[in-house]
Amino acid sequence: MKLTLGMAQINTVLGKPEENLEKHLQFAHQAAQSGADLLIFPELSLTGYVLQDLTPAVAHRPRPDDPLFRPLLQASQKIDLLVGFVEEDTRNRFFIAAAYLSAGEVRHVHRKVYLPTYGLFDEGRFFAWGDAIQAFETRFGRAGVLICEDFWHASPPYLLWLDGADLFLFTSASPGRGLNSAPILESARWVEHINRAYASLFTAFVAHTNRVGYEDGLNFWGGSTVFDPNGDLIVQAPYFEEGLTLAELDLNQLHRTRARLPLLRDERTALVQRELNRILTSRTSGK
């Protein structure tokens, strides 16, 4: 089975969801026309990234009666969409979230679990922490969504793997940093390393969509990637440039790779659970 996956490596208008919505619909249309089955947008693609006090003003609920989601759900009749937004829950907590839309329905919402609040990041000041990491069914098999800092930690991808995800959909608004003599920034190098590593370790497809553009002095470097279950790069979008990048995923590669390298088969989850319990209950463990 083949999946044509599109990555919408876009720039966004900071704090103007209705303007960003227009771009989402244009990219969705263009991707569908190009034969894509699924289109992934970056983290906070409907709002922009450094929202600070704009956070409550740009929050939405992923429901058919929401003015932002109504047209997106309509567009999802033609192409599956993963969009980034600020979610306000029924008790008025705000989350960095990503919604997977398919055939006019919201199939899954992931709320960012790890909110970086250090260095240039201040997410924990403005957002609530997501509390679940769950894979979900798509037309193309079981998938999992993580947002930026979520996959800087090893455990969320691992949990998705155990929960059945063969298709890892990662999104970022990754500020470029770490300039040295290398042709790419340290932040880009790090993200590419770990994406490749997850694809290799979990013998799975890993698609990462990052945004481009600037917010004040921050640059977003793009360079979206898809790695296959062998850890080989299928496609990489250009650095710093807005655009749609398509990747053809031969899902049968899962079969071939896992026949060669049965890491999933041999994963000893009961041992992991036992040791985790011991580590977390032991007073002397190094944390």
- Give contact residues for other proteins (rule: CB under 8 A): 13-16, 50, 52-54, 176, 179-185, 213-217, 219, 239-240
Q: Which is nearer to other proteins, 52 or 77 (CB)?
A: 52
How near is the Cβ of 15 to other proteins at its closest, in Å?
Answer: 5
Give me the DSSP letters along 98-120. EEEEETTEEEEEEE-S----STT
How near is the Cβ of 272 to other proteins at its closest, in Å?
Answer: 35
Q: Which is nearer to other proteins, 214 or 252 (CB)?
A: 214
Q: Which is nearer to other proteins, 16 or 258 (CB)?
A: 16
Q: Which is nearer to other proteins, 44 or 50 (CB)?
A: 50
Q: Residue 129: CA atoms inside 13 Å, Cβ hemisphere, count? A: 10
Distance separating alpha carbons of residues 208 and 211, to the nearest angstrom: 10
How near is the Cβ of 216 to other proteins at its closest, in Å?
Answer: 5
How near is the Cβ of 98 to other proteins at its closest, in Å?
Answer: 22
How near is the Cβ of 105 to other proteins at its closest, in Å?
Answer: 32
Q: Which is nearer to other proteins, 182 or 272 (CB)?
A: 182
Among 239, 237, 238, 241, CA closest to 226: 237
Residue 170: strand pairing partners: 146, 208
Residue 114 has a CB neighbour count (10 Å cut-off) of 20
